[in-house]
Structure 1
């Protein structure tokens, strides 16, 4: 059985390869070709943390992620994880790998897959609310699916440092970052709304990846009311996301859009929202990509080399 620590995962995993793998996993999930239960959540008494168990079978891969989420962590990451892969034919363990970086990168790759389908083709400005690892990962992923001429970032802590490090503009407020933007990423640990609908321009696409609890919110009621809402999985989003619960409706799963069953953007002025809670098929498909890149042939490719929805751009 192979063990891959975070440094090994970092050397093997590339965002440009991960995005199409996420597209295929989401398509498989929405087409009933993948199996995943709702994740189990354990609140850690006295420490404000959460422990999640997330099994899945997708595209010839079988595994589970164990992940902790401590939103109040200051000097260490808020998320830590291990992902285990098993041989689907026999149940034999194949690998254990660090899942923190996979969680970080697959979240951004899924947002990129949604942005490819939902953002306007001529989107040129990006706003990011947040300045942590998800902000950094999303900046990389967003630039792979749209050609941005202007990027603005805001956070209450280190927007200036983030802007200097990545060569983008530090906004003076969340409103300053968002107004006029073509694509918005909300990647915070806030439990109350940080994005207001009154700031959103016609035609904007929003990716919201925080607030993963049913009583937490990233978006205000006006934002939810103005957006056409897309999610990874209806059942998971409806139970786990306070924003989705408040919205009261879901237009489509993004995998249905990738697979052609439901429409993406229909008009230039549509305001679209992809609300991500993170689902197990993403982690297992990403771990399978890492495992194959490590030189083992114990898992089948996620799709045939010469075909597959994931290879088509749109």
Structure 2
């Protein structure tokens, strides 16, 4: 009988959760398996936990074949803000072996989800913006903003400037204080949103804003707007963009609160207008014409969570990391 291994956040980090190269390789490998029918997802289950649409619990099942040989469920609870010493997002991923159903373990996966999300952002930026980045703007000062900043400074070492904006300046100051020193990339905080956007090649929207605030003035020739957060981008902004891209379009468009999918359900966006999804960008090398304005909607594909967790559990088993419990 197989033992079940649980990985805390510290265990996951020890097993390689912060390895950017491995994370991006997981994204590429999973996209190939998804295209070949060897990976897949079904629609998430959503449980409202209050009047605020940000207070929800999600059950997200998926399977990933190949070397991952895993099926599982990510269970996550979202709140608008941290409560006490609890983060705004609490998440655990449960993994079984795909080939025989044996339970393998669980991973505390809020960090893993951020790594997955940011690895997708990195893969999309590399595909959509092949020329060297000079300036990136990050909107927000929470965990997603922090992890995106870490990614930029790790994977784009020649990046000259990262402009930062957040509604609450003290949160922004904390983000900057916690950032690792980097003599190449300057961190430039802004009190005014329009000033933070002025020179950006890429705008990363990483906020929990319940109402959209990024208007069409943010659209620019050769600029990529990436929506990571909840609902920051106005319909007019998406409509003004030359090319709309997504990580994937699926049944989740019928229920997700992401700006693009709200726009679709309002009858103001046709799915046929999606120029490329992540498989086309990463696997097929789709690129927009030079100087085009771009929008990328990152829904967050739970199939990557299962692949990441399976890799970490396999590595943890090899190294004896984590807490082992007998299977029932």
Structure 2 distance, partners of 1:192, 1:29, is 33
2:253 to 218, 223, 238: 238
Q: Quick check: 1:36 aligned with 2:55?
A: no
- Counterpart secondary structure, 2:21: helix
- Counterpart secondary structure, 1:269: coil
Structure 2 distance, partners of 1:178, 1:23, is 30
Instruction: Note the residue ranges of structure 2 that are not aligned, 5 or more in a row.
Output: 182-186, 264-268, 320-328
Q: Structure 1 stretch 53-62 or stretch 27-36: which is displaced more?
A: 27-36
Structure 1 distance, partners of 2:316, 2:125, is 29
Aligned to 2:22: 17
Q: Quick check: 1:7 aligned with 2:10?
A: yes
2:77 to 60, 65, 68: 68
Aligned to 1:205: 224
Indicate if the aligned counterparts of 2:128 and 2:281 stay in contact, CA closer than 8 A: no
Structure of greater Rg = 2
Structure 2 distance, partners of 1:256, 1:136, is 28
User: Deviation string for 1:159-218 (max 9, x for gaps)?
Assistant: 22323432611112222111220111100111211322213331111221111xxxxx31
Alignment of 1:1-314 (within 5 A): 1-12=4-15, 13=17, 14-45=19-50, 49-59=55-65, 60-75=69-84, 76-146=86-156, 147-157=158-168, 158-166=171-179, 168-211=187-230, 217-227=231-241, 228-236=243-251, 238-239=253-254, 240-245=256-261, 246=263, 247-249=269-271, 250-260=274-284, 264-296=286-318
Structure 2 distance, partners of 1:31, 1:148, is 36
- Counterpart secondary structure, 1:294: helix
Indicate if the aligned counterparts of 2:64 and 2:307 stay in contact, CA closer than 8 A: yes
**Cα drift, residue 67 of structure 1:** 0.8
Instruction: Note the residue ranges of structure 1 that are not aligned, 5 or more in a row.
Output: 212-216, 298-314
- Counterpart secondary structure, 2:191: coil
**Cα drift, residue 265 of structure 1:** 2.6
Aligned to 1:311: none
Aligned to 2:322: none
Question: With structure 1 as the length reference, what TM-score do the two structures score?
Answer: 0.85
**Cα drift, residue 142 of structure 1:** 2.8
Indicate if the aligned counterparts of 2:62 and 2:302 stay in contact, CA closer than 8 A: yes
Indicate if the aligned counterparts of 2:203 and 2:226 stay in contact, CA closer than 8 A: yes
Q: Structure 1 stretch 75-84 or stretch 128-137: which is displaced more?
A: 75-84
Structure 2 CA distance for partners of 1:25 and 1:284, relative to 1, 3 Å: same
Indicate if the aligned counterparts of 1:31 and 1:256 stay in contact, CA closer than 8 A: no
Indicate if the aligned counterparts of 1:127 and 1:151 stay in contact, CA closer than 8 A: yes
Equivalent pairs counted in the alignment come to: 290
Question: With structure 2 as the length reference, what TM-score do the two structures score?
Answer: 0.82
Indicate if the aligned counterparts of 1:195 and 1:223 stay in contact, CA closer than 8 A: yes
Structure 2 CA distance for partners of 1:197 and 1:62, relative to 1, 3 Å: same
- Counterpart secondary structure, 1:251: strand
Structure 2 distance, partners of 1:268, 1:145, is 23
RMSD value, Cα? 2.1
Aligned to 1:300: none
User: Deviation string for 1:4-52 (max 9, x for gaps)?
Assistant: 1111112221223212212222343345331110111011247862111
